Structure 1
Amino acid sequence: MRSLHHCPAPAKLNLFLHVVGRRADGYHLLQSVFQLIDRSDTLHFDLRDDERIVRTNEVPGVPEEQDLIVRALRLLQAQYRRRHGRLPPGIEVTVEKILPMGGGLGGGSSDAATALMAANHLWQAGLTQQELMDVGLPLGADIPFFLFGQAAFVEGVGEALQPVPGPDCWYVVVEPGVSVPTPAIFSAPDLTRDTRPVTIADFSSSLAVSGRQLSFGKNDLQDVAERLFPPVAEAVAWLGSYGEARMTGSGACVFCAFSGERDADQVLAQVPGKWKAWKAQSLGSHPMKSLLQINEL
């Protein structure tokens, strides 16, 4: 096999996000539940006759050398050489980008995770899921989650993952039109850093998706983001009139859960024209898993 096309890189939502402490090196200790949703970037991969990793199209605001996709593939290429004593073929990557940057949806990390899964398959590199997670972690704490491939209770700096049943529901997601830089949120002096730790059992027993409500915990980063970026606060206030609205990640996207697609459609029809908004359904597992199994038949 020399190509793998139409590979999904799905977004995630933070159903809650607590900052429970801070390490001596400055990294924040987090607790969260990450939920995959069926809104995705799409990537296409083709093997080359040389050993170069090449992105074939422009991604606005992301130079090729800084792209997590390219950096992840180069790390996997080096891992392949250590294991097999030679370099694998190069890869051309084409990216159809729809997930916004600075949106808190994990788009760049998801793209990198999909690239690692696809290259591991095309190269027949033989790395396990955990080995791929170890390759991706130095590039970003969200990458291991997308390789983990299911809803997860997340701790540490984002690297400690345990499976957890996520809600079966629909979400309306609003893009407020701003890109929120993560460092600006985590460096804010008024960020809450001492939320009481919770357990998976706390989440599982308290999670309620009923009608237009999703409620457990909060996003500790939201107050800071609303203060620094007023459009986030405006989107939370508007969407909050239909249910419990919450920011995902460090922002800027805002979401609200609904038990059915019809309810989501009704709210989506009311979204002010100044915002981009869309609906998405929760995913039980990463769609690349079934795609790769099909290609192995």
Structure 2
Amino acid sequence: MPAAPRTLTLPAPAKLNRMLHIVGRRQDGYHELQTLFQIIDLCDYLSITLRQDGVIELITPMDGVAHADNLIVRAATLLQQASGTPLGASIMIEKHLPMGGGLGGGSSNAATVLKGLNRLWQLGLSDTTLAELGITLGADVPVFIHGRSAWAEGVGEQLTPITLDTPWFVVIHPHVSVSTRKVFQDPELTRDSHPITMARALQGGAPEWRNDCEAIVKKRYPPIAEALDWLAQYAPSQLTGTGACLFAAFDSQQAAQAVAAELTGQHWHAWVARGLNTSPLQDALGC
């Protein structure tokens, strides 16, 4: 039997919300959602090295985030405590996904840590078990654990794997950070969208493929409204999650690249990304 690896370098992909409806608010303050998650090939990358001394070390800290508050550290510590392992890990991150961008970067980082350490520590836990741990870190963590495009309900944890079209996307970050908490606490946020079926959602197009957070975010963050209007010149544009990132779909890589090239010299950052139905993390781990 080959020796277990001591270091894994793994992707932590982004997601887009192709639609996001808020259908209610629970007594605990969380919101009931309906959304379509699609994985894209824009990723952070984490290198995770096994330690024998039980220490959880983040070698590349993030500005403005305390060590103990970082989702990478919290995920590793949670799995260590839940499994009872005496092992630890040193973790490095090559960061590409913006913080507060609505791309799920922090949740994806946490999911990659959980799945990577499950392999390095040879715990043998199922994705279902890892997702049950992950939901305590963030509502988006389970979709990255399972690694499939999905229809999601509840707070985003009730997942049904689906197959979406896989266009090319232009994704724009207007260099502002949006607080998810503030958006969901906003008194003007609409919380009464009528629930729809998954089948109806998968038909695509307006009015189903909309984001109920978009009106509030555009009002509170003018640079996002400006970017949405600019991108809408080329294709229907939409916010992902609570923002700040927004996107539009294109039929070809060339068409997406041509639009992204128009942003040269602009005060926004743009990526061209491919829609996926299976996470590159699944592929990297051979799942």
Any idea what SS the aligned residue of 1:138 has?
coil
Q: CA RMSD in A?
A: 1.4
Any idea what SS the aligned residue of 1:139 has?
coil
Q: How far, CA to CA, are the matches of 2:111 and 2:93 in structure 1?
A: 13
Any idea what SS the aligned residue of 1:19 has?
strand
The farther-off stretch of 279-288 and 1-10 is 1-10
Report what 1:283 is aligned to: 276
Q: Alpha-carbon deviations, 1:145-176, whole Å to 9, x = none?
A: 10011100010011100011111110001101
Q: Alpha-carbon deviations, 1:121-151, whole Å to 9, x = none?
A: 0111010010000111111010011001110
Report what 1:56 is aligned to: 59
Letter in 2 for 1:164: I
Q: Alpha-carbon deviations, 1:232-269, whole Å to 9, x = none?
A: 10010000111110000001001000111011011011
Q: How far, CA to CA, are the matches of 1:280 and 1:111 in structure 2?
A: 18
Instruction: Judge conservation of contact 2:52–2:86 (CA < 8 Å) in 1.
Output: no
Of 242, 245, 258, 1:253 maps to 245
Report what 1:114 is aligned to: 112
Letter in 1 for 2:224: V
Instruction: Judge conservation of contact 2:8–2:116 (CA < 8 Å) in 1.
Output: no
Report what 2:166 is aligned to: 168
Report what 1:16 is aligned to: 19
Letter in 2 for 1:160: Q
Instruction: Judge conservation of contact 2:107–2:138 (CA < 8 Å) in 1.
Output: yes
Q: CA deviation at 1:4?
A: 3.1
Is 1:138 matched up with 2:136?
yes
Is 1:78 matched up with 2:86?
no
Any idea what SS the aligned residue of 1:35 has?
strand
Q: How far, CA to CA, are the matches of 2:277 and 2:179 in structure 1?
A: 29
Q: How far, CA to CA, are the matches of 2:52 and 2:189 in structure 1?
A: 50
| Identical-pair percentage | 45
Report what 2:199 is aligned to: 201
Instruction: Judge conservation of contact 1:4–1:118 (CA < 8 Å) in 2.
Output: no
Letter in 2 for 1:231: P
Structure 2 unpaired stretches of 5+ = none
Report what 1:84 is aligned to: none
Is 1:228 matched up with 2:225?
no
Any idea what SS the aligned residue of 2:156 has?
coil
Of 173, 178, 181, 1:180 maps to 178
Report what 2:232 is aligned to: 240
Report what 1:42 is aligned to: 45
Of 94, 97, 112, 2:95 maps to 97
Q: CA deviation at 1:63?
A: 1.8
Instruction: Judge conservation of contact 1:192–1:220 (CA < 8 Å) in 2.
Output: yes
Q: CA deviation at 1:215?
A: 7.3
Structure 1 unpaired stretches of 5+ = 82-86, 209-213
Any idea what SS the aligned residue of 1:39 has?
strand
Q: How far, CA to CA, are the matches of 2:7 and 2:39 in structure 1?
A: 22
Any idea what SS the aligned residue of 1:252 has?
coil
Any idea what SS the aligned residue of 2:124 has?
coil
Letter in 1 for 2:204: L
Q: How far, CA to CA, are the matches of 1:10 and 1:114 in structure 2?
A: 9
Q: CA deviation at 1:2?
A: 4.2
Q: CA deviation at 1:216?
A: 3.9
TM-score (norm. length: structure 2): 0.95
Instruction: Judge conservation of contact 1:7–1:44 (CA < 8 Å) in 2.
Output: yes
Return structure 1 stretches of 4+ with deviation > 2 angstroms: 1-6, 214-217
Instruction: Judge conservation of contact 1:110–1:143 (CA < 8 Å) in 2.
Output: yes
Q: How far, CA to CA, are the matches of 2:250 and 2:188 in structure 1?
A: 32
Any idea what SS the aligned residue of 2:136 has?
helix
Is 1:152 matched up with 2:145?
no
